[in-house]
Amino acid sequence: MSPRIAVLVPCYNEAVTIARVVADFQAALPGAQVYVYDNNSRDGTGDLARAAGAQVRHVGLQGKAQVMRRLFADVEADVYLMVDGDDTYHAASAPQLVRQVLEHGADMVVGVRVSTAELAYRPGHVLGNRLLTGFLSWLFGRPCKDILSGYRALSRRCVKSFPVLSTGFGIEAELTVHALELAMPISEVDTPYKERPEGSVSKLSTWRDGCRVLWTILRLYVAERPLPFYGLAALALAGLSLGLAAPVVATYLDTGLVPRFPTAILATGLALMAGLSLTAGLVLDTVTRGRREKKMLAYLATPGP
């Protein structure tokens, strides 16, 4: 029996490019089903995708992560290929990404974007992606090349064990963290990255969406690594408390008096906060381990490719 391959295309106002995207991926992956989930487009994107041969559905809640949540929940397949509807990704690379899942056992294959045109990948986006990618690699201890790429092949067990919690463009970072946390096999494949065709407009804002992705990474780090985060906060508070308390204690030992009573109160309060922070880290670490075990069980319960 041939593996079921689903091409997942979240869309918002992509009438200029969607028909070409559907046709290109149908040609690159014969037998695959292309799913276009229209996110309140006002330019007829859904109708054009349907005419091109895609299965089209509507998602009312705005945001890419909202669309991907519905796609992952509704679509049943053995391999899922994520791609944007703006015709910037290289359809001819799709078989290579899919093969990494089917033949080499990868649960996530990231299409690392290699720009083929000067305007395809703006310098600000390149710098921001490198900073965010480096930051996430440092936080989670595994190197990545392009955490914001929307071109990915995913195994069924990766998709069905993934709880989508973000609401916007942080979905790619969240997917990466999910794979890193469960120690999934991850591959990266260099793929050409084109500029948008004339008349197609990007919905990304360099600063706004960059800040959102950075916030998503920090939020995920606090959620997935609570003990290091709160432990570091406890260490900083304890150090500040000791620094303030040292002269107060020295004066008390010399004179038997506490002339700087407010400082003593502040040092005591900081020491209590340090203890509370460490306790919170220990409790949340236990909770996180339980959540991770549940996700791992869901991952292991789903057959591999």
- Reduced to 3 states (helix: H, G, I; strand: E, B; else coil), residue 8 is strand
**112: buried, middle or exposed (CB in 10 Å: 19+, 13-18, 0-12)?**
middle
Question: What are the tens digits of pLDDT across the range 101-157?
Answer: 999 999 999 999 887 655 445 555 666 677 777 777 777 777 788 888 899 999 999
Q: What is the pTM of this model?
A: 0.81
Domain boundary among 168, 195, 222: 222
| pLDDT for res 260 | 82
Confidence band, pLDDT 50/70/90 cuts, at residue 203: low
User: Domain of 262?
Assistant: 226-301
Residues 6+ apart with CB under 8 A from 299: 157, 158, 161, 182, 184
Instruction: Assess whether 161 and 239 both reside in one domain.
Output: no
| pLDDT for res 205 | 61
pLDDT at 268 over 90: yes
Confidence band, pLDDT 50/70/90 cuts, at residue 280: very high
Question: What are the tens digits of pLDDT across the range 208-248?
Answer: 766 776 777 777 788 888 999 999 999 999 999 999 999 88
Instruction: Assess whether 238 and 185 both reside in one domain.
Output: no
Instruction: Assess whether 259 and 186 both reside in one domain.
Output: no
| pLDDT for res 47 | 94
Tell me which amino acid residue 43 is: D
Instruction: Assess whether 231 and 211 both reside in one domain.
Output: no
pLDDT at 163 over 80: yes
Instruction: Assess whether 78 and 98 both reside in one domain.
Output: yes
Instruction: Assess whether 123 and 204 both reside in one domain.
Output: yes
Instruction: Assess whether 115 and 253 both reside in one domain.
Output: no
- Into how many domains does the chain fold? 2
Question: What are the tens digits of pLDDT across the range 189-200?
Answer: 999 988 767 655
Instruction: Assess whether 124 and 74 both reside in one domain.
Output: yes
| pLDDT for res 71 | 94
Instruction: Assess whether 283 and 210 both reside in one domain.
Output: no
Domain boundary among 222, 257, 283: 222
| pLDDT for res 81 | 97
pLDDT at 204 over 60: no
Among 35-39, 61-65, 151-155, 204-208, name the one with the lowest average pLDDT.
204-208
Positive or negative, the Cα torsion across 177, 63, 84, 10? positive
Listed in sequence order, the DSSP H helices in the chain are 18-28, 45-51, 64-74, 94-102, 123-140, 156-160, 171-181, 206-224, 226-255, 261-301
Average pLDDT of the chain is 87
Instruction: Assess whether 132 and 117 both reside in one domain.
Output: yes
Instruction: Assess whether 132 and 89 both reside in one domain.
Output: yes
Q: Please name which of 84, 108, 113 lies closest in space to residue 25, comparing C-alpha atoms.
A: 84
